Amino acid sequence: MNTLGASAITCETYGEVTVRRGVRAKILGRGGDLTQQRIENSGFDFRHNGAGSAPRDPRPLRWAHEPGFSAAVSSVLENGATEVTINIRSNRTHAIDGTLGVQLKKLGFELGGSTQHSGATSLHISASFPQDRKWWK
Q: Going by C-beta distance under 8 Å and a sequence separation of 6 or more, which residues neighbour residue 51?
A: 7, 130
Q: What is the 3-state secondary structure (H, E, C) of 67-97?
A: CCHHHHHHHHHHHCCCEEEEEEEEEEEEEEE
Cα–Cα distance between 17 and 91 in angstroms, integer? 10
Residues 83-113 pLDDT 10s: 999 999 999 999 998 877 656 777 778 888 9
The CA R_g of the chain, rounded to the nearest whole Å, is 25
Cα–Cα distance between 137 and 135 in angstroms, integer? 7
pTM of the model: 0.73
132: pLDDT confidence band, cut at 50, 70 and 90?
low
Alpha-carbon torsion (52, 57, 61, 67), positive or negative:
positive
Residues 19-61 pLDDT 10s: 999 998 888 878 888 999 999 999 999 999 999 998 899 999 9
